């Protein structure tokens, strides 16, 4: 049975139609090297948030380029802070704000804590049994 509907667009289709430049990967990498984030890529390529994330799911080349740009962006910001320390300019940086930005922007590497899934082979533990033991005070004991 033939599929109905419009085929899913991938970046290669956008390049063939002349909508995106042939060097789109390098454009994305360069944005990462400048410390830019996903919203900058969305703006540059005129993508809505939904379309951006759909492209990541359906186009491995696009997903790979965005992930590499994310690494470049993280290195940009780490390098920025490193250079500030080397130059002695770190006093002018709000370290709490910088840390907050890094933890929220690069969650995988900068999270304060990791979530722990307390399950048994993927199933939740539902043992609601409560054992109550009554302990009498020493003065109430019958000798």
Say whether pLDDT at 36 is over 90: yes
Residues in the chain: 143
Bigger pLDDT: 36 or 112?
A: 36
Mean pLDDT along residues 3-31: 90
pLDDT at 119: 67
Say whether pLDDT at 143 is over 70: no
The domain ranges of the chain are 11-113
Q: What is the DSSP letter of 138?
A: G
Which two three-digit tokens encode residue 45?
């390529």
Average predicted confidence (pLDDT) for the chain: 86
Q: What is the DSSP letter of 132?
A: -
Helices (H), the chain: 11-16, 24-33, 38-44, 49-58, 60-87, 95-105, 107-110
What band does 30 get if pLDDT is binned at 50, 70 and 90?
very high
- Count CB neighbours of 28 within 10 A: 24
Say whether pLDDT at 126 is over 60: yes
Contacts of 106 (CB under 8 A, 6+ apart): 70, 74
pTM of the complete model: 0.70
To the nearest 10°, report the CA torsion of 3, 60, 112, 94: -120
What band does 99 get if pLDDT is binned at 50, 70 and 90?
confident
């Amino acid at each position: 049975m033939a599929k109905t509907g419009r085929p899913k667009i991938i970046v290669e289709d956008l390049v063939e139609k002349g909508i995106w430049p042939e060097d789109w990967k390098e454009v994305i990498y360069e944005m990462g090297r400048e410390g830019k984030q996903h919203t900058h890529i969305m703006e540059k390529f005129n993508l809505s948030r939904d379309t951006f994330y759909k492209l990541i799911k359906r186009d491995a080349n696009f997903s790979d380029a965005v992930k590499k740009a994310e690494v470049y962006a993280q290195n940009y910001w780490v390098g920025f802070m490193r250079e500030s320390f080397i130059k002695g300019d770190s006093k002018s940086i709000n370290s709490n704000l910088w840390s907050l930005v890094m933890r929220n922007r690069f969650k995988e590497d900068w999270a304060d804590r990791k979530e722990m899934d307390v399950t048994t082979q993927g199933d939740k533990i539902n043992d609601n049994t409560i054992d109550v033991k009554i302990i009498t005070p020493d003065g109430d004991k019958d000798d």
